[in-house]
Amino acid sequence: METEQAQMPRDENGDPILEIRDLTKRFGATLALNNVSLTLGRNEVLALLGDNGAGKSTLIKCLSGVHEPDEGQIFVDGDEVHITSPMQARSLGVETVYQDLALFDNLDVVGNFYAGREPTTPGWLGNWGWVKDKDMIREADELMSRLEINLPGADVETGLMSGGQRQAVASARAMAFGRKIVILDEPTSALGARESRNVLRLIQDAPGHGVSVIVISHNLEHIMQVADRAVVLRQGNVVGEAEPNQENHERLVSMIVGGADEPEVDEPSEAPDEDSTNDG
């Protein structure tokens, strides 16, 4: 009884789904990450902001098993983990969508969803078993309607799709198989305004499907639409965090560009350039 009661709040919103403590990563003499600590709450959409070279990419690569941190600890679901390979990250429920999307243009949506993990029968034949096409198509259709992503069809090759549709396929694949944490690297940077909107809605809805999201973006407008919280990195350090909304807009910008040690300092002259290009 007691243990069950103790676990209930933990599953709801007790332990963060991901916690990073004092992560440090060096490349030779360069300090890419300096004692970075942050948490990702359960069903939270966390934005990672920062200028080029701030350490965002290094951080997500440490989480997705591309880099191994030199120091520090990573906890997934309250358990300490050592992520040494992309495969291991995936098995821990951490799925990353990079900007190149890693889609197979010659395969249809179903093929892309299941590439490398096609269900087969009978099991003892392993990789020489028969692919369960009907199951795959049914599950892919279910997934597409559950995530409400609008694609030409599950049997259309991703090579025939637009940038936004391709991003949706890659993100949906991550959310379906990530289960816990999905990391999105600049999901809207290559997209037009309308296409961005579809992808942003997908991110917004992720917590409703039990998926926590870390999203990297240069577009503060988009971050303000989807993220619950924004953490700002600069030169490998966490320099602050804030709820991304219009009130905090200038504060976030000044943290990103690092005009002063005091994050609250207003730098209005910098702000308008940041998002003036966005008409979404």
Is 164 a residue that touches another protein (CB under 8 A)?
yes
Is 145 a residue that touches another protein (CB under 8 A)?
no
CA 240 vs CA 80, 233, 255: distances in Å: 25, 8, 7
Is 67 a residue that touches another protein (CB under 8 A)?
no
3-state SS string for 222-263 = HHHHHCCEEEEEECCEEEEEECCCCCCHHHHHHHHHCCCCCC
Residue 19 near residue 79, CB atoms below 8 Å: no
- Choose one: 28-36, 117-125, 221-229, 246-254; the region binding another protein (CB under 8 A): 117-125
Is 106 a residue that touches another protein (CB under 8 A)?
yes
- Choose one: 7-15, 47-55, 126-134, 241-249; the region binding another protein (CB under 8 A): 126-134
Least distance (Å) from another protein to the CB of residue 107?
6
Least distance (Å) from another protein to the CB of residue 81?
18
Q: Residue 264: which of 231, 236, 235, 239 has the closest Cα?
A: 239
By C-beta, is 55 or 111 nearer to another protein? Answer: 111
State how far the Cα of 256 lies from the Cα of 259, in Å rounded to an integer: 8
By C-beta, is 113 or 234 nearer to another protein? Answer: 113
Angle (CA) 190 195 198, round 5°: 125
Alpha helices (H) in 115-219, listed in sequence order: 133-146, 163-178, 193-205
- Window 182 to 201, contacts with another protein (CB under 8 A): 192, 194-195, 198
Residue 45 near residue 207, CB atoms below 8 Å: yes
Residue 74 near residue 18, CB atoms below 8 Å: yes
Residue 101 near residue 170, CB atoms below 8 Å: yes
State how far the Cα of 131 lies from the Cα of 141, in Å rounded to an integer: 17
Least distance (Å) from another protein to the CB of residue 91?
10
Is 208 a residue that touches another protein (CB under 8 A)?
no
Answer for which of 53, 129, 207, 263 binds another protein (CB under 8 A) is: 129
Is 27 a residue that touches another protein (CB under 8 A)?
no
- Choose one: 2-10, 105-113, 239-247, 255-263; the region binding another protein (CB under 8 A): 105-113
Least distance (Å) from another protein to the CB of residue 189?
14
Is 167 a residue that touches another protein (CB under 8 A)?
no
Answer for which of 117, 268, 269, 279 binds another protein (CB under 8 A) is: 117
Is 280 a residue that touches another protein (CB under 8 A)?
no
State how far the Cα of 79 lies from the Cα of 5, in Å rounded to an integer: 20
State how far the Cα of 58 lies from the Cα of 236, in Å rounded to an integer: 9
- x/- map, 240-259, another protein, by CB under 8 A: --------------------
Is 135 a residue that touches another protein (CB under 8 A)?
no
Q: What residues line the site for another protein (CB under 8 A)?
A: 86-87, 90, 102-107, 111, 115-118, 120, 127-131, 150, 152-153, 155-156, 159-165, 192, 194-195, 198
